[in-house]
Structure 1
Amino acid sequence: MTIEKISRSVVAVRATVPDDAFTANALGTRREGSGVVIRDNGLVLTIGYLITEAEEVWLTDQDGRVVAAHALAYDQETGFGLVQALSPLNLPAVQFGDARKANIGDAVTLADGIGQQVDAHIVTKQEFAGYWEYLIDEAIFIAPAHPSWGGAALFDRDGKLLGIGSLRLQMSRAGEVADINMVVPIDLLTPILDDLIKRGQAAKAPRPWLGAFSAESNGMVVVMSVAEGGPAAKAGLRQGDIISDVRDGEVDGLADFYRKLWQNPAGAEIPLRVVRDGRETWLRVKSADRNSFLKKPQLQ
């Protein structure tokens, strides 16, 4: 079967989020992207930020048929989201590939839910640390970039699903800046899929969350902003603060900061050494389960 036929199982995803949702200011209340059918019963895999706190979800196939859906699950660790169609989609489920075996230079196709496809290559596979307290050990990066990447499906040459589009970034290569897409590999879904379907979340303890949006600069972790009402804001963490230590451990970059942070349970009070205006101070941040701040999905 050709990529063109397989990619018809990619649908457009449209979600509406309440104005008072915790993520409304950061992600908006009207969100659009894509998703791909992974079960014949209409289970759709997408990128989770599209459906977080959604009160309405609609799926549109590439013939323009619209079906109501339910936001079933969002996994904070991987970033994957699941949507269940409430009427038959009559679209076949795609087959999963093995992202671990995909190599740099491999030809791939990123397909969205309105029929746009970008033929690309894998330019690198490496660790990715996101500013929103997110880390995956080996993300897939492809070029050229797809203009509608959120929730788009990445297929290998055999038409098997390798991952879901998450971000559009820029990468410097040979002195030139190129637009690339970051893709979350499908291998991260397999161990948690049954739990997400049955329980709406993975069967593991939640990670501690601070609500600090941070960037790495010359190996230092610099706070860009804090979530209003979140643990970091309540503890007095500010924009421009440099986080140098977590408990007794010196921080060496954003990924190291997250790994040290996640050694603690959600709800733990976490001491942070902070450099502010050239002076060091300690803050004690009572962490939280991020999901406790989010509105729960409501069945339409």
Structure 2
Amino acid sequence: MTGRQMAEDDPSIPQELRPDPADYSFDLAAALGAVVALKSRVPADAFSARTLGTEREGSGVIIRADGLILTIGYLVSEAESIWITTTTGRVVPGHALAYDFETGFGLVQALGRLEAPALELGPPEAPETGAQTVLAAAAQDEEGGALACSVVAKEPFAGYWEYLLEEALFTSPAHPSWGGAALIGPEGKLVGIGSLVLQHRDKRGRRVDLNMCVPVSLLHPIMGDLLSYGRVNKPARPWLGIYAADQDEGIVVASVAAKGPAERAGLRAGDRILGIDGAEATDLAGLWRTLWSRGAAGVKVMVAAERDGRRLSLPVVSADRASFMKAPRLH
């Protein structure tokens, strides 16, 4: 999975959706110049190789004059090599400096001069619903891969990979190359990083594609730790190693991480999770909140599940997800 899969189906942004520089009070061209393309290669034995592949492509945003780049972490986690390409075609190597599991942010440090501008981070508050923004991926042509959009919702987002944002940003129309894209606010500052494309049905039953972006407001309190330690300097959340989905019949396990806590405890694909430690879980968001409320990684929890009509109670010794992954190199 990469942040550009849809680009192959729709490689260009229609002219009517491209931002008009005259509509913005900031220098749009300069802001877009801070967006770079990222290509990473991950070892075949990396923990994430099975689910995310060994070759990943997406975008990132230069946020500091020394070549510090903010992106979405799945593009660069466990990477053994990263190549950065600027809008002017300059190519330099980089390395994965940090990855935060809670927000999903990744930091990359360029190992050469990018000769490109940096984009200022937005304020500690996320933009309001209705804010007119620009979502920009690495330039696909001389006009750049930018799309005029707006923030249509700010609400919780629960991911199947044990992930939860209490206030994610949802933008429309959707960008075809969302992974690591820069969400630029009305004042020309970076306010979000593109993470996913999601399908939503409107009141008429029509499919509407939205991008989910991680608010940059979440970066401010953790930036120091990411730069110093490569992760947030606090006890890790408990991790079960399950990939689950909200379905009509409840929370269903789609798969389990190889040699992860859930697999070792006997959870299987197809199991329906009912709750943790006696607390009922009716959706993914509730399940993750309950799990994380039990303490730090290493805590044992009792997972109530249903399999073939039988109710099970399985003790699962949680783990630190980072211990299963190749750590970023600190320089």
TM range (shorter): over 0.9
Provide the residue aligned with 1:262 in structure 2.
Answer: 292
- Residue 152 of structure 2 corresponds to residue 127 of structure 1: no
- Residue 257 of structure 2 corresponds to residue 233 of structure 1: no
- Residue 136 of structure 2 corresponds to residue 106 of structure 1: no
What whole-Å deviation, never above 9, does each CA across 1:146-167 have from its counterpart, x for those lacking one?
1110000001122111110000
Q: 1:138 aligns with which of 132, 156, 167?
A: 167
> Any idea what SS the aligned residue of 1:39 has?
coil
* 1:214-225 correspondence to structure 2 within 5 Å: 214-218=244-248, 220-225=250-255
Provide the residue aligned with 2:12 in structure 1.
Answer: none
Query: Alpha carbon RMSD of aligned pairs, Å?
Result: 1.4
- The structural deviation recorded for 1:290 is 0.3
What whole-Å deviation, never above 9, does each CA across 1:139-196 have from its counterpart, x for those lacking one?
0001111111000000112211111000011111122111110000001100000110
Distance 1:4 1:220 in 2: 47
Amino acid at match of 1:180: L
> Which range is displaced more, 68-77 or 235-244?
235-244
Distance 1:80 1:298 in 2: 16
- The structural deviation recorded for 1:219 is 7.7
> Any idea what SS the aligned residue of 2:60 has?
strand
What whole-Å deviation, never above 9, does each CA across 1:93-146 have from its counterpart, x for those lacking one?
211223735222221110012220011111111000000000010000011111
What TM-score, normalized to structure 2?
0.88
- Residue 318 of structure 2 corresponds to residue 287 of structure 1: yes
Provide the residue aligned with 1:180 in structure 2.
Answer: 210
Provide the residue aligned with 1:252 in structure 2.
Answer: 282
> Any idea what SS the aligned residue of 1:84 has?
strand
Unaligned runs of 5+ in 2: 1-25
Amino acid at match of 1:279: R
Distance 2:281 2:93 in 1: 46
Distance 2:45 2:324 in 1: 11
1:27 and 1:49 in contact (8 A); partners too: yes
**What is the aligned length?**
300
Provide the residue aligned with 2:13 in structure 1.
Answer: none
Distance 2:223 2:32 in 1: 21
Provide the residue aligned with 1:58 in structure 2.
Answer: 83
1:99 and 1:162 in contact (8 A); partners too: no
Identity, % of aligned positions: 51
1:99 and 1:185 in contact (8 A); partners too: no
> Which range is displaced more, 174-183 or 217-226?
217-226
Provide the residue aligned with 1:34 in structure 2.
Answer: 59
What whole-Å deviation, never above 9, does each CA across 1:10-58 have from its counterpart, x for those lacking one?
1001100001111101000000000001111100000000001000011
What whole-Å deviation, never above 9, does each CA across 1:172-227 have from its counterpart, x for those lacking one?
11221111100000011000001101111111110111110011124821111111
Q: 1:157 aligns with which of 175, 186, 190?
A: 186
Amino acid at match of 2:212: M
Provide the residue aligned with 1:88 in structure 2.
Answer: 113
Amino acid at match of 1:24: A
> Any idea what SS the aligned residue of 1:58 has?
strand
1:219 and 1:252 in contact (8 A); partners too: no
2:126 and 2:216 in contact (8 A); partners too: no
2:229 and 2:330 in contact (8 A); partners too: no
Q: 1:101 to 1:53 in 2, by over 3 A?
A: closer
Distance 1:164 1:150 in 2: 8
Unaligned runs of 5+ in 1: none
What TM-score, normalized to structure 1?
0.97
> Any idea what SS the aligned residue of 1:159 has?
coil
